[in-house]
Amino acid sequence: MDWTTWVEWIVKGFVLCLILLTGFAYLTLYERRALARMQVRVGPNRAGYQGLLQPIADAVKLIFKEELTPARVYKVVFFLAPILTVVPSLVIAAVIPLGTSFTMFGREITLYVANINVGVLYLTSIASIAVYGIVLAGWSSNNKYAMLGGIRSSAQMISYEISLGLCFAIAIVMSNSMNLVDIVNAQKDMWFAVTQPVGALVFLIVVLAEVNRAPFDMPEAEQELTAGYHAEYSGMKFALFFMAEYQKMIVVCMIAATLFFGGYREFWFLKDTFFSVDRFWFLGPIYLLLKVVVLLFFMIWIRATWPRIRYDRLMAFGWKILLPLSLAVLFITATGILLAQELNNQLFIWSIPLLSIICALVVVVFIYRDLRRKSHGRI
């Protein structure tokens, strides 16, 4: 391996980190303006034109804000916990393809840092260790409320991680590969969100819980835990937790777009046209950016409209609803694809979304009857 390969990896890693850090900064502005629009407010509009410099103003404020460290914290872990939270949110994006490739100085440059055959396993492994920083932050604070927030986060991650893995398995079964580039190319003719809409919806719900976003933000429930696991943090250490949450939002939206919405590919009805990624490589990152922006708006919309779920119901929803539904959807998908291959009949492929929607409707009816029975006090 020559030195130019190392230089290419370093440059692409630096550019990817720069993209995520810039995206984090302006995602805060995007969310605040979108929430203000939904709540008939103005939102930040004073720092720069239409508030475009507000993220910079926030960064300057946090840099110069006094940091307070309580006397009884476990100092080494207390200082390392924010770093352990931020790093996984950056390195997890290394295998996500942002586009195809282009030629520069006679060398083919691919638009991803690494292309590994088990990219899906890499995503699951890094995503599962991201909670350690939160748990250690709660424990090292030597604060009961912070500790409860860390414990809640770990229990929530375990509850929803199984459903997340099953959603990954759905994409693997449909593409017959664990390589993310192969998964994207398998959606050239049709997005997996069309052939398996229930799996895509379950994935979007699960990642909301994985990144502790509303209505699954119980580890940060201020009415119970006074901000939860980061209650004792201030200044730039608090900013690192803030940064990690928003970077994880961007990354999980990139993963969702890659697994179920065609990734950097164009809409399937635009293939082999003037707007095809195969014709112009620079359209790939643009298509992926548009999909990520739409999915981020979905997360913001949920925060603005849905109340926080009570913690026991949050756990029950993960174990009693999403896990059985994910298993059923995975079974339907695998069976439909197997029958389509064995009998050489594509009709079985199109039976997958129909049967999955019927299964989801059965679950919705079950939830409705359960809630109605509870409301009448018959349990």
The DSSP result for 47-94, as a single string, is SSGGGTTHHHHHHHHHHHSPP---TTS-HHHHHHHHHHHHHHHHHGGG
Quote the percentage of the chain above a pLDDT of 70: 96
pLDDT band at 259 (very low <50, low <70, confident <90, very high): very high
CA distance 44 to 46: 6
Q: Where are the domains of the chain?
A: 3-375
**237, 155 contact by CB (below 8 A):** no
**257, 93 contact by CB (below 8 A):** no
Instruction: Name the nearest CA neighbour of 92 among 224, 203, 249, 235.
Output: 249
87-107 tens-digit pLDDT: 888 889 889 999 888 887 778
pLDDT band at 201 (very low <50, low <70, confident <90, very high): very high
Q: Which segments of 141-234 does DSSP mark as H helices, in order?
A: 144-175, 180-185, 192-195, 197-210, 222-225
pLDDT at position 317 is 87
CA atoms within 13 A on the CB side of 341: 9
Map residue 107 onto helix, strand or coil: strand
At 359, list the tokens: 């299964």
Amino acid code (one letter) for 197? P
CA distance 248 to 243: 8
CA distance 165 to 122: 12
pTM above 0.85, yes or no: yes
pLDDT band at 225 (very low <50, low <70, confident <90, very high): low
pLDDT at position 379 is 47
